[in-house]
Structure 1
Amino acid sequence: MDTLRTLSETKRTFYSLHTRPLNSIYRRVIEELLVEMHLLTVNVDFKYDPIYALGVVTVFDTFMQGYQPEQDKESIFNAICKAVEGDPQQYRQDAERVKSLAENNSVEAVTAWLCELKPLPGAGDLDNLLQGIKDNPRFKYSRLFMIGLYTILETANPSLTNDDKVRQEILEKCCQALNLPKEKVDKDLDLYRSNLEKMEQARSVLEDVIKSDRKQRERRQEEKNSPENINQSMII
């Protein structure tokens, strides 16, 4: 019988793969995503799917905007996926495939696909995936899966973000079609949207601090290079 890897083992693997220090402002985001993915992947009822992959990629890319140094982001993403024994390239490819379906089909077609399980042009095996979720009483619902589902809807219909009534109506139909727990869905999406706002505010504050610091350094440099200071230096 295989022994389930522990959270400590998953974290050790992550830090052995990404050895550079984490930007302190983003550390919590990174570690919470790692823990969430670990707990899911060791659950007996969990099964990887492209919609879940889109949720993972969306969360990572959205909350890691502005991360410095920029070149570390790919290393961090790869380390997270590998730490939970996943393939980062598969996550990216599956996420792009699902998102492109939303971009290349009409709002009506995408909505009918998720809310009525009507086949979507180009979806192929994903039609069967949705039907399988509906028919599986042990389907392991997760926040990341729901964010993936929401991202599909939002990509097809960007106005969904600002229209609470339409969003709730569509989500209600999706939950009924896929047998998803509506209360958990509402709670998870409310928290997700709230965290997006908080992260955006934090980034705005950080940008202001960086700009202020840069101006102070430039002002000090200008004062240092001013004729008065140069003359005093020459006299001394």
Structure 2
Amino acid sequence: MEAGGRQSVTRNTPDLLLSQWLVSFFASCILYFLLWLPAAEPSWSSALAKCLPILCLALFVHSTAPSGSYSQFIWVGLFCSALGDFVLTWPNLFLLGLAAFALAYVSYLKALGWHPLRLTLLEPVIAVFTLYLGILQPHLPSSLSVPVLVYAVTLGLMLWRALARGRPAALGGLFFGISDALQAWNTFIRPLPSGRLLIMVTYYAAQALMALSTVEGRAA
């Protein structure tokens, strides 16, 4: 009886940690949207509020995910994303933020790997990204043309590998693509109604799905 009780507690502990960290993530998201003032000047407090949900996800992965390279690279990707969120609070650090998120996508790409290859999934990704970059390119400053192209290629590869892996990583990759497409349109082409809200909701959803992919299929 006592042994059975200990086994039950052991089985339930990961689920309890999962619930605790997800509550922390959602609470920090709510805090961000409550404190978020689009007209406010950039500050350390607003930067912290923005990256806090991602830090909660990073701690969630560190605390609950099985050991292995997949979880480690997802953790690194979340850390790089939090860094990107922090520095992008200041518009003059745009290139540094872009580099941080490119490194995050490289980390996710390393986690997702190359098997199964599923080249048929790459073709629509190339088609959509080529079309969108063709629309975006005339609106970019010349100094950003190459960095944005490199970033888009990295994102496209990550999306392909996420689709090949399947849910929830596939959904996470799709939300990343939607969030970045909205961000690019809102920044370089034309401001969107409720643009920042749509960008951040899809972005946080993408990061949460990538974090949850680390515990996908975990034994009960």
Fold in common (TM above 0.5): no
Structure 2 length as normaliser, TM-score?
0.32
Flag the structure with higher helix content.
2
Structure 1 length as normaliser, TM-score?
0.30
